[in-house]
Amino acid sequence: MKYNEIKSILLNEQKVWLITGVAGFIGSNLAEALLKLNQKVISLDNFATGHAYNLEHIKSSVSPKEWENFSFIEGDITNFETCQEVTKNVDIVLHQAALGSVPRSIDTPVISNHVNVTGFLNMLTAAKDNGVKRFVYASSSSVYGDSQELPKVESRTGNLLSPYAVTKYVNELYMGVFQKCYGMEAIGLRYFNVFGKRQDPNGAYAAVIPKWIGQILEGEDLFINGDGETSRDFTYIENVIQANILAGTTDNPKAFGEAFNTAIGGRETLNNLYSAIVKGLKENLPELEIKDAIYRDFRAGDIRHSNANIDKMKELLGYEPTHSLEQGLSESIAWYINDIKGKNK
């Protein structure tokens, strides 16, 4: 397996990685994984959506020696000087900082554009100016818009449905231009509904899996948008970590300037997801009382079905998902039970 080969190499070859958005869900998991591989991690966050306690989670998850390789800078990607400073002497950028969420972008399109487009261009330009050759960044499955094709293939997208989707598509356009004009080894990862430990279950823009797990554990009402037959390619965080590390280390020139579906390559409805979460929670907490879900209107800007073709990433990067939806849910549910129940003590 290509991923195992790369991990073995990294354990003996230390590189300097910059992770933006490190206090967020994906960024903190990437930092933890890289530190455990003996890598040096420089990190940036402004805590707009990330949390300081995620940095504490990283520290408690790695050894004291590994933690010595971690450095943190509090700053904002919309400040170009900050971007210039953090990209000095960096080998690989993993750019995760963004304002996520389709509904948030519909509510605040100007702010979403400022962070996701201006901030992205700041980081890309600063990396280029400081001689950083490899730039990996988070794109999104939202760029497929109203395309009815299943599974989604990278070369064919539809009409965009939200300001958030526009920002991520613009990121991909800039990536292609910087690869052509400056020879940057830029790679985009189109995330499909990523979930796992440290994903915030609270707030108006929380993702569905942590939100539902949190609501059930707290005895709150749980809502399903539409008829529940909307489907998604739910992707466990370990698969996303693999994709980032493979993209950050690949020597395949065919991958540069490209965007890759980052997913399992499956599809599950919200109704089935809800049933699986209920089953998993009941297995861990037989005494748990669970309310029936409440159905409400479809959410503006949402696509109906999402399912990724992952052949391109398999072929060009050697990607092989290690965790199915079921495995990911099992690990996530156990983590949230410990985390939420621990906070309630």
Residue 140 dihedral angles phi and psi, to the nearest 5°: -155, 150
Whole-angstrom Cα distance, residue 150 to residue 136?
26
pLDDT along the chain (345 residues), means of 10: 96 97 97 98 96 96 98 98 98 96 91 97 98 96 92 95 96 96 97 93 82 92 93 96 98 97 95 95 92 88 87 98 96 90 57
Measured CA to CA in angstroms, residue 231 lies from 121, 157, 330 at distances of 32, 18, 20
Helix axes 270-284, 325-344, angle to 10 degrees: 50
Whole-angstrom Cα distance, residue 6 to residue 91?
16
Residue 251 dihedral angles phi and psi, to the nearest 5°: -110, 20
**Quick one: pLDDT at residue 291?**
87
Delineate the domains of the chain, giving CATH numbers in brackets: 2-192+237-265+308-322 (3.40.50.720)
Residue-wise DSSP of 265-322: S--EEHHHHHHHHHHHHHHH-TT---PPPEEEPPPTT--SB--B--HHHHHHH-----
Amino acid at 274: Y
194 three-class SS? strand
**Quick one: pLDDT at residue 293?**
92
Cα-to-chain-centroid distance, residue 343: 25
Q: How many CA atoms lie within 13 A of 315 on its CB side?
A: 9
User: Listing from the earlier edge strand, what are the strands of the sheet with 16-20?
Assistant: 70-74, 40-45, 16-20, 92-95, 134-140, 185-191, 258-262
Q: Which contiguous run of DSSP H or E holds residue 4?
A: helix 2-12
Give the single-character DSSP code of 147: -
What's the pTM?
A: 0.94
In Å, the largest CA–CA distance within the chain is: 61
Q: How many CA atoms lie within 13 A of 16 on its CB side?
A: 10
Whole-angstrom Cα distance, residue 204 to residue 246?
33
Q: Give the residue numbers annotated as catalytic, written as ranges.
A: 164
Residue 101 dihedral angles phi and psi, to the nearest 5°: 90, 120
**Quick one: pLDDT at residue 101?**
83
Whole-angstrom Cα distance, residue 148 to residue 158?
8
Strand pairing category for 268-269 and 231-232? antiparallel
**Quick one: pLDDT at residue 231?**
93
